[in-house]
Amino acid sequence: MADGTTNTGDMISASSFQRLIDIGIALSAERDINTLMENILLEAKSLANADGGTLYIRTEDNRLQFEIMRTDSLNIAMGGTTGKDINFPPLALYDAKSGEENHKNVASSAALTGQSINVPDAYENEGFDFSGTKKFDEGTGYRSKSFLCVPLKNSQNEVIGVLQLLNALDPDTNEVSEFGSDIQPLIEALSSQAAVALDNQQLLASQKKLLDSFIELIASAIDAKSPYTGGHCQRVPELTKMLANAACDQKDGPFADFDLTEDEWYELHIAAWLHDCGKVTTPEYVVDKATKLETIYNRIHEVRNRFEIVKRDRVIEHMKKVMAGGDEETLRAELEEELAQLDDDFAFIAESNVGGEFMAPERIERVKEIANIKWTRTLSDRLGLSYEELRRIEREPEPTLPVQENLLTDKYDHVVYRDGLEATAENENPWGFQLDVPEHMYNMGEVYNLCIARGTLTEEERFKINDHIVQTIIMLEALPFPKHLARVPEMAGGHHEKMDGSGYPKKLNKSDMSVPARIMAIADIFEALTAADRPYKAPKKLSDSVKIMSFMKKDEHIDDELFELFLTSGAYKEYAERFLLPEQLDDVDISQYVTPPEAPQPAGNDD
């Protein structure tokens, strides 16, 4: 003012605006969406000195959902952090039958028009239907009078909710009055700030939901890719969570100080779901290789045809000798002996192909002897090939036809060379991988494969399967994870490491790995041991799986302290009861696998 005095109204206005700024800062800093919505209503009530209020959120099907309700004089507090659900049905913005806008309700009208609505007295208002409000008043003895409904608009000017205040209270008399013209702009300004903060949180929640759904989709696709790993990517996160919870619950011992924040739990959740994402790069014909000669199909059929050709050649040779005047009876006996031997040789090769028998040196020697049987090829083996096949076979010139070939061969074009551009190649390894890399990417040689000592996989194929963890790390480290998720690659990429440093792909030891990474290693192994959906093996009993893991603990392949916690906490049993078949569940005496507690020392003698 001109005389230098300060207008009281100006002081109040300045104070209110400062408070509005402080509220805006506080709202923008709140990360929990339920707490945020509650704070929006409570701050608005306080700023307007209102007895009650409701916060509605607009749903995707165009309804206003009750989120937070407060009426101080009636001690009503519902929604938000109270834990009390609001059972009132949402307010429809449009008539379900006619599709007309619902302007009967004051909150829905504010949402539809995008304009604030100030009602001095609901009982004297004729523009809106307050019959529900009056019925509520009759049952409680309350007197609903003044209403202020303000729409919450996001940055796209879309109404995302409505803030409704009830019964303004005079600060001096505490009597119910109308919401004044000086209060409404403040509430509208607060609503604008609140809408921005709420919209940001909703966007973050939507992005998080999308990320979670995408991660689970990838995991489900990996499980669906092969019947040999069905459900693995979905069960490992469950077991990981169980063991991590057990570690967090420890009040003493090696995990007394271990705990996870909300962000760290989410970080572990993502890592567990993505721990095998690199399997999308592993060819199915390698993962699902059921016989030694299998690539995309089982090549035993080619070998069988060659045996058939050799047998027919023997019959033709026999007929030629008979026609040349040879002794038919003697020649017939020789032929039958040769054919019987070929049948026996093929049966042996077929049996070796299955991989059920250990290939002792004498069995390997017999494969090589059978391989030297000759057959004649008269057709070019370079016709009808793919570009990649042709490129391999043209490393050498084509021989003149007809050509005699071994019945089983390790041909030069069976070998697939490495291109030198892989992550495991020298000078192309910023991830710190330490792997014993086979010389070739694949070797499809028939003798080479049939002589596999155990199982059906060659050294190159085992490396390729193990390579999934390499690809997992590369894929995850290529993603721009925010700071609070930065350890996802480390957690997900360590589940094939061993505590003694003999694992892969980085040969880490226990001290190099975080507790969550070591937890995930146990979860991954136990799930694989107990899985009942692997078509190549019968499901193991619970006691057998625990026993196997005890050997792994002894060999320092898994964390000994976590394994004992896994047993003593009952996490193994909780998982088994949820995911194992009834016939797998048997009694496990964990006392033989855990360190017995130290006996209390006797008290000293004072004498």
Q: Which of 21-30, 475-484, 486-495 has the lowest mean pLDDT?
A: 21-30
Give pLDDT tens digits for 412-469: 999 999 876 565 555 567 888 988 889 999 999 999 999 999 989 999 999 998 999 9
Shared domain for 169 and 50, answered yes or no, is yes
Q: Are residues 183 and 82 in the same domain?
A: yes
Percent share of the chain, pLDDT over 90: 68
| Pair 236, 307 in one domain | no
Per-residue pLDDT at 229: 67
Check whether residue 63 and residue 189 sit in a common domain: yes
pLDDT for the residue numbered 429? 77
Using the predicted structure, report yes or no on whether residue 588 has a pLDDT greater than 80. Answer: yes
pLDDT at 605 over 90: no
The whole-number pLDDT of residue 562 equals 97
Residue 437 domain-assigned (yes or no) = no
CA 21 from chain centre, in angstroms, equals 41
| Assigned domain for 425 exists | no
Among 239, 199, 104, which residue's Cα sits nearest to residue 519? 239
If pLDDT is split at 50, 70 and 90, which confidence band does 534 have?
low
Is residue 150 assigned to a domain? yes
Count of helices and strands (H, E) across the chain: 19, 12
Tokens, residue 464: 């390729």
Q: Domain boundary residue among 388, 416, 444?
A: 416
Over residues 179-193, the pLDDT tens digits come to 998 889 989 988 888
Q: Are residues 153 and 253 in the same domain?
A: no
Residues 177 and 41 in one domain: yes
**Looking at the predicted structure, is the pLDDT value of residue 379 above 70?**
yes
Q: Give the 3-state secondary structure of residue 541.
A: coil
CATH classification of the domain holding 532: 1.10.3210.10
587 vs 604, more confident: 587
- Residue that has been written with the tokens 């507090």 in this structure: 77
Closest CA to 31 of 241, 187, 261: 261
pLDDT tens by residue, 307-348: 999 999 999 999 999 999 889 999 999 999 999 999 999 999
Mean pLDDT (whole number) for 81-93: 91
In a domain, 80, yes or no: yes
Name the 3-class secondary structure at 70: strand
Domain that holds residue 90: 16-205
Identify whether residues 157 and 240 lie together within a single domain: no
When pLDDT is averaged across residues 137-160 and rounded to a whole number, the result is: 92
- pLDDT at residue 535 is higher than 70: no
Among the three residues 205, 221, 245, which one is the final residue of a domain in this structure? 205
Give me the mean pLDDT over the 222-231 stretch: 74
Tell me if 604 is assigned to some domain.
Answer: no
Residue 63: strand pairing partners: 92
Residue 484, C-beta contacts closer than 8 angstroms, at least 6 positions apart: 263, 264, 266, 267
Last residue of a domain, one of 172, 205, 238: 205
- Count of other CB atoms within 10 angstroms of residue 399: 12
- The CA distance from 67 to 178, in Å, is 24
Q: Is residue 458 part of a domain?
A: no
Secondary structure of residue 415 in the 3-state scheme = strand
Question: For position 13, what pLDDT does the model report?
Answer: 63
**Average pLDDT, stretch 37-66?**
92
Q: Tell me how long the chain is.
A: 607
Query: Are the beta carbons of 78 and 84 closer than 8 angstroms?
Result: yes
| Residue where the block lists tokens 């021989």 | 399
Q: How is residue 318 written in tokens?
A: 């026999």
Residue 281 makes CB contacts below 8 A (sequence gap 6+) with 467, 468, 471
As a dihedral over the C-alpha atoms of residue 20, residue 21, residue 27, residue 28, rounded to 10 degrees, the angle is 150
Task: Please answer whether residues 263 and 465 qualify as being in contact, where contact means their C-beta atoms are separated by less than 8 angstroms.
Answer: no
For residues 464 and 446, what is the distance between their CA atoms, to the nearest angstrom?
19
Does residue 35 surpass a pLDDT of 80? yes
> How would residue 198 be classed by pLDDT, with cut points 50, 70 and 90?
confident
Do 278 and 306 belong to one domain?
Answer: no
What is the structure's pLDDT at 194? 85
Same structural domain, 159 and 274? no
Q: What sign results for the dihedral spanned by CA atoms 528, 531, 534, 540?
A: positive
Residue-wise burial string across 476-507, b where 16 or more C-beta atoms lie within 10 A, e elsewhere: beeeeeeeebebbbbbbbbbbbbbeeebbbbb
Instruction: Assess whether 265 and 356 both reside in one domain.
Output: no
Letter for the amino acid at 493? G
| DSSP-assigned letter for residue 442 | E
Is the Cβ–Cβ distance between 355 and 456 less than 8 Å?
yes
Question: What integer pLDDT is reported at residue 5 of this predicted model?
Answer: 40
Confidence of residue 218 (pLDDT cuts 50, 70, 90): confident
What's the CATH number where 80 sits? 3.30.450.40
The percentage of the chain sitting over the pLDDT mark of 70, rounded to a whole number, equals 93
What secondary structure does DSSP assign to 481-495, as a single string?
--GGGTTHHHHHTTT
What pLDDT is attached to residue 421?
Answer: 59
The mean per-residue pLDDT over the stretch 482-493 comes to 94
| Nearest CA among 484, 472, 519 for reference residue 218 | 472
Say if 88 falls within a structural domain. Answer: yes
Q: Classify residue 428: in a domain, yes or no.
A: no
Based on the domain organization, do 322 and 391 belong to the same domain?
A: yes
Domain count, the chain: 3
Residues 85, 187: one domain? yes
CA separation, residue 280 to residues 220, 224, 468 (Å):
11, 11, 8
Q: Write down the mean pLDDT value for the chain.
A: 89
**Dist. CA 207–CA 213, nearest whole Å:** 10
Which run of H or of E encompasses 55?
strand 50-58
Radius of gyration of the chain (CA): 38
pLDDT of the residue at 196: 86
